[in-house]
């Protein structure tokens, strides 16, 4: 790869394949794999990622919203796509593009049946989400009879899967809570299946669920962050490779004298001579203001350079006093060694937030 001459997110599809293989190696041969490609594939660009994973034989895809699914349909993704959080206003579009809704409440069930009936559908695939403790979205166990009675009155929809979501699968101090979620999921789904009369696909685990709870894989697993190279645990990380490298370049170097200030609101006032480098990446690119004032850092010629002052919209300044560098030099914001997870943690957040925040205006380059 030639050195970056502008802010660039390099995405390594070989690393994606490695992570996919690693996750699959944890599954029973019959367990299906759902690739979570919501939020622009966690900032990586959903279309090339989904196209790659479709060829690599992922069984299912999931997005959060209908428009994300539409974009995949517009770009040759023909595999089933689960929409995790459809909104009423988009249900007709969802159906027109054969996207599959997560149905999580009585209201969403009735609304979708009405749309499906009005479009003369027969056995349109739907997914029922049950709440087992995350308390975010999902039916409760007491809703089962309502669901069964409602489904008995229509042929327009068919339940193809039942699922739930773990609240703390990466957190080993919450094993008991997670095991309760697993048991409740088993209890709810066995009651539901008995009344329904056939067995839909069951799925519960996200990436950390796959790694920490092999007994809870059921018929399918759903992975996002693992595909993008984060194992959420030092024990698993060696087998995963972050797929993205965020690079930028030095636009200008300044020497500041004691008493000089730097950037908006004079975010830094120096007490000694320092050398700063200005980089073409800012909070509009997803490097948000939490990384300012010494919390975040980048790597210039292999050396750590803290972000100083406030992060601007389109730029950030870093302290390169002790680094031999020049205008035009390449800068690493994160890569495999200097991970997005480390940078996120230094500013008090998580890899998920840093990578999904990366704006669409950052150029993406795919390495094959
Ligand atoms: C985002 C999401 C996932 C993916 O979780 P990872 O931790 O990224 O693997 C799985 N299931 C649901 C319901 C989600 O919202």
Task: Return the percentage of the chain with pLDDT > 90, whole number.
Answer: 99
Measure 223 CA to ligand 1 centroid, in angstroms.
6
pLDDT tens figures, 275-304: 999 999 999 999 999 999 999 999 999 999
Q: What is the pLDDT of residue 246?
A: 98
Residues forming beta bridges with residue 221, ordered by sequence position: 33
8 Å CB contact between 316 and 288? no
- Which numbered atom of ligand 1 lies nearest the CA of 85? 15
- Cα angle 256-257-261, degrees, rounded to a multiple of 5: 65
Q: What is the pLDDT of residue 3?
A: 87
Residue 236: closest CA among 14, 22, 33: 22
- Among protein residues, the one with the nearest Cα to ligand 1's atom 12 is 165
Q: Which residues line ligand 1 (CB under 6 A)?
A: 36, 38, 84, 165, 206-207, 222-226
Q: What is the pLDDT of residue 311?
A: 98
Question: Do the two domains 31-229 and 244-367 of this chain adopt the same fold?
Answer: no
Q: Provide the 8-state DSSP code for 139.
A: B
Assess whether pLDDT exceeds 90 at residue 95: yes
Query: Could you tell me the two tokens for 300?
Result: 């210039």
Mark out the alpha helices in 175-261 (DSSP H runs): 175-196, 207-212
Query: Alpha-carbon distance 254 to 260, whole Å?
Result: 11
Give the residue numbers marked as catalytic: 38, 264
Measure 312 CA to ligand 1 centroid, in angstroms.
31
Residue 222: closest CA among 111, 64, 1, 333: 64
pLDDT tens figures, 266-282: 999 999 999 999 999 99
Residue reference for tokens 């895809």: 61
Residues forming beta bridges with residue 254, ordered by sequence position: 276
Sheet holding 244-249, edge to edge: 252-256, 274-279, 316-319, 303-308, 297-300, 330-334, 244-249, 8-12, 363-367
- Which numbered atom of ligand 1 lies nearest the CA of 38? 1
Q: What is the pLDDT of residue 283?
A: 98
**31-229 CATH:** 3.20.20.10
Query: Alpha-carbon distance 141 to 129, whole Å?
Result: 11
8 Å CB contact between 345 and 230? no
Q: What is the pLDDT of residue 2?
A: 74
**244-367 CATH:** 2.40.37.10
In the chain, where are the structural domains located? 31-229, 244-367
Residue reference for tokens 């730097």: 262
pTM: 0.97
Measure 35 CA to ligand 1 centroid, in angstroms.
9
What confidence category does residue 142 fall into, taking pLDDT thresholds of 50, 70 and 90? Answer: very high
What confidence category does residue 109 fall into, taking pLDDT thresholds of 50, 70 and 90? Answer: very high
| Residue 249: its H or E element | strand 244-249
The overall average pLDDT reported for the chain is 98
In 64-205 the beta strands, taken as DSSP E runs, fall at: 81-83, 100-103, 124-129, 157-163, 201-203
Query: Alpha-carbon distance 367 to 10, whole Å?
Result: 7
pLDDT tens figures, 318-328: 999 999 999 99
- Among protein residues, the one with the nearest Cα to ligand 1's atom 15 is 84
């Amino acid at each position: 790869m030639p050195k970056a001459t502008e802010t660039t997110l390099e995405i390594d599809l070989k690393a994606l394949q490695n992570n996919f293989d690693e996750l699959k190696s944890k599954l029973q041969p019959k367990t299906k794999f759902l690739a979570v490609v919501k939020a622009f594939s966690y900032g990586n660009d959903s279309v090339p990622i989904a196209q790659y994973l479709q060829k690599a034989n992922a069984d299912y895809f999931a997005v959060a919203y209908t428009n994300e699914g539409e974009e995949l349909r517009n770009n040759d993704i023909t595999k089933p796509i689960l929409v995790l959080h459809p909104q009423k206003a988009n249900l007709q579009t969802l159906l027109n593009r054969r996207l599959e809704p997560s149905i999580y409440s009585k209201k969403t069930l009735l609304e979708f049946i009405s749309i499906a009936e009005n479009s003369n559908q027969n056995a349109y695939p739907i997914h029922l989400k049950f709440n087992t403790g995350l308390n975010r979205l999902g039916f409760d166990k007491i809703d089962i009879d309502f669901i069964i009675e409602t489904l008995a009155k229509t042929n327009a929809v068919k339940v193809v899967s039942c699922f739930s979501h773990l609240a703390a699968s990466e957190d080993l101090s919450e094993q008991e809570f997670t095991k309760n979620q697993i048991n409740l999921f088993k209890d709810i789904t066995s009651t539901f299946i008995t009344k329904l009369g056939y067995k839909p696909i069951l799925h519960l685990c996200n990436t950390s669920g796959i790694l920490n709870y092999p007994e809870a894989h059921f018929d399918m697993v759903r992975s996002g962050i693992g595909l993008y190279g984060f194992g959420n645990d030092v024990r698993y990380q060696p087998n995963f490779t972050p797929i993205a490298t965020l690079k930028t370049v030095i636009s200008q170097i300044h020497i500041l004298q004691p008493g000089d200030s730097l950037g908006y609101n004079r975010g830094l006032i120096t007490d000694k001579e320092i050398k700063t480098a200005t980089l073409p990446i800012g909070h509009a690119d997803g490097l948000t203001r939490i990384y300012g004032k010494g919390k975040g850092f980048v790597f210039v010629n292999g050396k750590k350079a803290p972000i100083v002052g406030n992060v601007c919209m389109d730029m950030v300044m870093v302290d390169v006093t002790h680094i031999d560098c020049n205008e035009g030099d390449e800068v690493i914001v994160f890569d495999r060694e200097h991970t997005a997870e480390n940078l996120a943690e230094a500013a008090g957040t998580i890899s998920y937030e840093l990578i999904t925040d990366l704006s669409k205006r950052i150029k993406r380059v795919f390495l094959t």
